[in-house]
Amino acid sequence: MTSKLKTDVLETVSGSGTIALTNQLSGMTTASLPTLTSTEMPAGSVINVYYHELSPVDVHTTSTSFVNTGLSITLTPLSASSRFLISYSHSPHGNTNTSWNQDAVFRGSTYTTIRGGMRFNLASGWRTYATTTSGVDSPNTTSAITYTVKMNNSGTTGYWHVAGHLDGGDASPNAASLTITEIKG
């Protein structure tokens, strides 16, 4: 048999203090919980995650200027104080011992400090370098922005995220990914 206790006010004997309850969440549903919006979350909270994957990817260039790899995300920040943790993974390579590849994240046309650095080929033949690169950007805006991964090369042919060329193997393109995590400032 189930018992019910109905009351309008529950107090301690003295009329003050705290009454300990056990199983206070028993019977609660998600409909009875308050909604927590991004404005109510504390600084440092993850408030949005964006992801883009390209598969397969076969980008190559001889350009010393940055060219688009096709890996990009357009987003609208929830707050001007948001910070973005940006990470991407890929496998650049070149085909001579004098070539290098470099990749970087751009916010619109602005070069950010998030870059994979240069990959030099130290011996003749194909050399592939798997890499994951990450960094933080603070755009200070609530307008839509686009983050794009771009690459350049020393002027010889450089490739971005094509596996299988190690020591002259067959080309077999793989996926490249970009993840952006919005963190409340």
Question: Could you tell me the pTM of the whole model?
Answer: 0.71
Q: Does 109 or 23 have the greater pLDDT score? A: 109
Q: What is the pLDDT of residue 80?
A: 95
Distance of CA 55 to the CA centre of its chain: 17
Give the Cα separation of 8 and 10 in Å (integer).
7
Give the Cα separation of 130 and 84 in Å (integer).
23
Give the Cα separation of 101 and 76 in Å (integer).
31
Across all residues in the chain, what is the average pLDDT?
77
Q: Is the previous residue joined to 56 through a cis bond, with omega within 30 degrees of 0? A: yes
Give the Cα separation of 115 and 66 in Å (integer).
12
pLDDT in tens, 75-97: 999 999 999 999 988 766 655 55
Per-residue confidence band for 175, with pLDDT thresholds at 50, 70 and 90: confident
Per-residue confidence band for 28, with pLDDT thresholds at 50, 70 and 90: low
> Does residue 176 surpass a pLDDT of 50?
yes
CATH number of 45-183: 3.40.50.2300, 3.30.360.10, 2.60.120.1340, 1.10.3720.10? 2.60.120.1340
* Residue 51: CA count within 13 A, CB half-sphere: 5
